[in-house]
A and B are shown apart, each in its own frame.
Chain A
């Protein structure tokens, strides 16, 4: 059964939009093939088949736990980031009139989930406007200043109220990695429940301890796109229904296995992570001398190895992306003309970046060096031709 889809293979493509989706990691495919016979039963059932699935699920849990350096029982699997975040928020119903805080560059799906869920948890609090979750600004590189965080927490009344703080470990659009250790340390001065969105960072960069809860999209480490991991620290104030100290799993065991196997493979392979980092560094070093009026975004040092974002003055991003695609190169963009909503990326806006002519390169796992060669070779002439047509 091929769903009637015919795919013409053998075309040499440079795929540089991994943030939108990438092929499943070979380790995930191998793990699934090996364990498929033992993962189909209900892991909560007490019969032999159920126990077999439970053993596999626990192994997947232990794999993720060892990477996060947390006990295995704190890890659960979820079908998506919003579901993962809701699972975490569901355990915060006992907090007394909490305040909320996230950054201006959180993922849209995270902000929307907060806006949707916060009022359900505390419908009677007149001081919290559910349509207006307070946000903390970043500097031009996308980093949150710990001192601003301290000021904002104080302004929110963190001395009197608990504050639920949601912070991303790294930004997939500009690649900036936050100084989470410093930010968490500030939060510890108050009664904060710190939730970390570790998507894009987990597996690629080391994460500090000290968070109360953490979630991450498996698709960001070449795992299955319909999977996320959730971690709730034992020391945190999270309370599930009844005596539960950790959220329940809500995922196909098979998918959990793929997520854990891919994460383990990415985390272990430091050589490949370094190689990917060198590919984006090469773009960072070489592009400014090849093309005029090009601005590169994100923190130069504290960055994801796989992401590089830049904008080109006077260039229509949609036209550039279409032109590059015709040349065999796939890239992403945060520009308004490339977005379905017709608005520029809120991340680019928040850091004051030029929002038109934006190109976001996100390098997939095992990306051939030739993909970067192709971009460096084709981009200057594509940009020149678009600028020439625009008359600038």
Chain B
């Protein structure tokens, strides 16, 4: 996983985000407290990354997942069901990348 979760240890996740090369993220993504960038990785890696990210945020937080893994179309809703999270939106971007936003349960 790239982006903030892979940054050098910092206590504030927002600081971590600043420490990353966030310019890599596509423009005009929906609003989210953090984006988990799993472009290029295959199942179950995107869901594992989403799960790890979710552990660091309180209930009600909106986080995003960027992935081009086709299995995510089924696995993100299934993960939301198992973790009592809500899938807010999924937006198809270029190169088969889909941006999912979930509200943590």
Binding site for B on A (CB under 8 A): 293, 295, 311, 313-316, 335-337, 342-344, 348-349, 352-357, 390-392
* A352 x B42 contact (CB < 8 A): no
Bound CA–CA A313/B83 (angstroms): 10
* B42 x A337 contact (CB < 8 A): yes
Nearest residue in B to A390 (C-beta to C-beta)?
B48
Bound CA–CA A218/B42 (angstroms): 36
Residues of A within 8 A of B51 (CB): 313-314, 392
**A to B CB contacts below 8 Å, 15 in the list:** A295-B78, A295-B82, A311-B78, A313-B79, A314-B51, A315-B44, A336-B42, A344-B43, A344-B70, A352-B77, A353-B74, A354-B74, A354-B79, A356-B75, A392-B52
In the A-B complex, the 6 residue pairs with the smallest Cβ-Cβ separation, listed nearest first, are A356-B44, A354-B78, A356-B43, A349-B74, A344-B71, A336-B71
* A336 x B43 contact (CB < 8 A): yes
Q: Does B47 count as interface, using CB distance less than 8 angstroms?
A: yes
Bound CA–CA A293/B42 (angstroms): 20
Minimum C-beta distance from A322 to chain B (A): 15
For B46-85 the 0/1 string (1 means CB < 8 A from A) is 0110011000000000000000001101110111011000
A343-B44 in contact given A313-B79, A392-B51 (Cβ < 8 Å)? no
Bound CA–CA A190/B81 (angstroms): 38
A356-B71 in contact given A336-B42, A392-B48, A392-B52 (Cβ < 8 Å)? yes
A355-B82 in contact given A314-B44, A390-B48, A392-B52 (Cβ < 8 Å)? no
Q: A314-B51, A335-B71 are in contact. List 11 more A-B contacts (CB 8 A).
A: A313-B82, A315-B44, A337-B42, A344-B74, A352-B74, A354-B74, A355-B71, A391-B48, A392-B48, A392-B51, A392-B52
Bound CA–CA A335/B47 (angstroms): 14
Bound CA–CA A357/B78 (angstroms): 12
Nearest residue in A to B55 (C-beta to C-beta)?
A392
Residues of A within 8 A of B42 (CB): 336-337, 342
Minimum C-beta distance from B71 to chain A (A): 5
Partner of B75, one of A316, A342, A354: A354
Partner of A313, one of B47, B70, B71, B74: B47
Residues of A within 8 A of B47 (CB): 313-314, 356
Q: Give the residue among B42, B73, B77, B78 with the most A Cβ atoms within 10 A.
A: B78
Residues of A within 8 A of B75 (CB): 354-356
Minimum C-beta distance from B5 to chain A (A): 11
Bound CA–CA A391/B73 (angstroms): 23
* B82 x A352 contact (CB < 8 A): no
Nearest residue in B to A335 (C-beta to C-beta)?
B43
Partner of A293, one of B43, B52, B71, B82: B82
Bound CA–CA A391/B51 (angstroms): 10
Partner of B74, one of A315, A337, A355, A391: A355
Nearest residue in B to A350 (C-beta to C-beta)?
B74
Residues of B within 8 A of A357 (CB): 44
Residues of B within 8 A of A349 (CB): 73-74
Nearest residue in A to B44 (C-beta to C-beta)?
A356
Nearest residue in B to A311 (C-beta to C-beta)?
B78
Minimum C-beta distance from A372 to chain B (A): 25
A336-B82 in contact given A352-B77, A392-B48 (Cβ < 8 Å)? no
Residues of A within 8 A of B78 (CB): 295, 311, 352-355
Q: Give the residue among A293, A295, A353, A355 with the most B Cβ atoms within 10 A.
A: A355
Minimum C-beta distance from A292 to chain B (A): 10
Residues of B within 8 A of A390 (CB): 44, 48
